């Protein structure tokens, strides 16, 4: 029986996926280019990200009875379509490995610096093994429970930061013109918004497609607004230079929260939210990659390839870069055009081809 999820469950998945690793890593990536105008870049990237989301969902809606790999074969031909399908499969698994590495580095550096990285990688590997074997329905039901916990942690952290913000740290606005803002917007387009292309593998599971465009785009915008506030608060607390050089800027901001003389070091809130969000993003990325490979090779059950793909993903996460600084540098530079090609340009081209084919028919 084909699995099904509700449109609300899709929205919850989109929110947790989009926030994902961007919760901790996005502020530094943006502020490195936009300086005190980083919050404007965060708004702009979220709005452009909504356009990306619209392109993705519009493409899938044109083929209600096909999965994404079947759409590729229909529009591009059998062999070229499968080749592009393999390209997408690699992108999904590559993203899963990158997210896994992000999570492992965060936990190791901040909580257990003396523990071997392999221990954390194995733990994350077990998580994606179990969740992927369980299927998208179970993944969605678990996410229904953990997303509210994650959002409470994020927004409570934002609220508790308000007493220590300094609004003058975001002035003067537009002091260096529009170019730095556009440069700051650029990395956010590839990470996380173009990555939403992964949901080409998830949207076909939604049982009621009637309002799917509003739900998909709306949930992306909600996640974008949340990230905007994280970027804004981080700048107004840490200032520009500390945000630029910090590996985990929002985490460092949360460390400054203190309620009276009895409650401090509330970074556990943002840490909990980050681990939940990154775990969801890792699971969705790996599940999409596994499903894509199974569909390309027309396997009866994607579960038959999960174990070897878990081993490949965990192993690849070790080989990505030398350390977390290089991983972040890769995500802020090389990843953006790579993700933009996969997540925006190819879907836009496919959408155009679908209209041409429809006119000819």
DSSP 190-202: HTTGGGGGGGGTT
* List of residues 6+ apart from 258 with CB closer than 8 A: 264
Contact 281, 17 (CB under 8 A): yes
296 vs 210 pLDDT, higher one: 296
Query: What is the CA 354 to chain-centroid distance, rounded?
Result: 27
CA distance 187 to 290: 27
How confident is the model over 38-83, as pLDDT tens digits? 999 999 999 999 999 999 999 999 998 888 999 999 999 999 999 9
Mean pLDDT throughout 282-302? Answer: 94
Q: Within a domain: residue 296? A: yes
Q: Within a domain: residue 140? A: yes
Q: Within a domain: residue 220? A: yes
How confident is the model over 298-309, as pLDDT tens digits? 998 999 999 999
Residue percentage of the chain with pLDDT more than 90: 68
pLDDT at residue 194, rounded to an integer: 95
pLDDT at residue 206, rounded to an integer: 94
Query: How does the average pLDDT of the chain come out, rounded?
Result: 91
Q: Within a domain: residue 1? A: no
pLDDT exceeds 90 at position 200 = yes
Count CB atoms within 10 A of the CB of residue 279.
23
pLDDT exceeds 60 at position 361 = no
pLDDT at residue 261, rounded to an integer: 63
CA distance 309 to 293: 10
Residue percentage of the chain with pLDDT more than 70: 97
Running DSSP on this structure, what letter comes out for residue 334?
T
Q: Within a domain: residue 2? A: no
Which of 250, 197, 220, 178 is closest to 59 using CA atoms?
197
Q: Within a domain: residue 219? A: yes
How confident is the model over 203-213, as pLDDT tens digits? 999 998 889 99
Domain count, the chain: 1
Contact 216, 203 (CB under 8 A): yes
Q: Within a domain: residue 71? A: yes
Written as six digits, the tokens of 202 are 């998830």
- Residue 276 maps to which CATH number? 1.20.1740.10
Mean pLDDT throughout 241-263? Answer: 81
pLDDT at residue 331, rounded to an integer: 77
pLDDT exceeds 90 at position 323 = no
pLDDT exceeds 50 at position 1 = no
Q: Within a domain: residue 251? A: yes
Q: Is the pTM of this model over 0.85?
A: yes
- Find the domain containing 129 and state its range: 7-360
Which of 251, 202, 207 is closest to 18 using CA atoms?
202
Question: Which one of 63-67, 99-103, 248-252, 356-360 scores highest in mean pLDDT?
Answer: 99-103
How confident is the model over 162-172, as pLDDT tens digits? 888 999 999 88
CA distance 234 to 236: 6
């Amino acid at each position: 029986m084909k699995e099904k999820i509700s449109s609300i469950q899709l929205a919850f998945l989109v929110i947790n996926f989009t926030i994902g690793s961007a919760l901790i890593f996005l502020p530094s990536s943006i502020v490195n280019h936009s300086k005190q105008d980083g919050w404007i870049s965060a708004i702009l990237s979220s709005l452009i990200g909504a356009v990306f989301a619209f392109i993705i969902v519009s493409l899938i809606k044109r083929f209600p009875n096909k999965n994404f790999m079947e759409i590729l074969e229909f529009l591009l031909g059998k062999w070229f379509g499968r080749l592009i399908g393999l390209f997408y499969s690699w992108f999904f698994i590559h993203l899963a490995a990158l997210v896994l590495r992000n999570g492992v580095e965060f936990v190791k550096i901040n909580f257990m610096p003396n523990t071997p990285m392999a221990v954390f990688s194995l733990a994350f590997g077990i998580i994606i093994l179990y969740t992927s074997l369980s299927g998208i329905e179970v993944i969605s039901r678990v996410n229904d429970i953990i997303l509210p916990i994650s959002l409470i942690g994020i927004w409570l952290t934002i609220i508790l930061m308000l007493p220590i913000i300094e609004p003058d740290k975001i002035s003067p606005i537009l002091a260096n013109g529009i170019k730095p803002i556009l440069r700051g917007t650029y990395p956010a387009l590839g990470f996380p918004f173009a990555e939403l292309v992964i949901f080409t593998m998830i949207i076909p599971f939604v049982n009621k497609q009637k309002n799917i465009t509003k739900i998909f785009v709306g949930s992306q915008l909600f996640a974008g607004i949340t990230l905007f506030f994280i970027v804004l608060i981080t700048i107004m607390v840490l200032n520009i230079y500390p945000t630029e050089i910090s590996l985990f800027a929002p985490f460092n901001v949360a460390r400054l929260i203190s309620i009276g003389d009895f409650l401090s070091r509330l970074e556990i809130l943002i840490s909990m939210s980050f681990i939940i969000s990154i775990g969801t993003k890792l699971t969705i990325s790996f599940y999409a990659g596994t499903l894509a490979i199974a569909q390309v090779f027309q396997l009866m059950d994607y579960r038959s390839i999960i174990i070897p793909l878990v081993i490949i993903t965990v192993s690849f996460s070790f080989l990505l870069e030398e350390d977390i600084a290089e991983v972040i540098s890769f995500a802020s530079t090389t990843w953006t055009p790579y993700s933009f090609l996969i997540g925006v340009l190819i879907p836009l081209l496919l959408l155009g081809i679908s209209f041409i084919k429809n006119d000819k028919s």
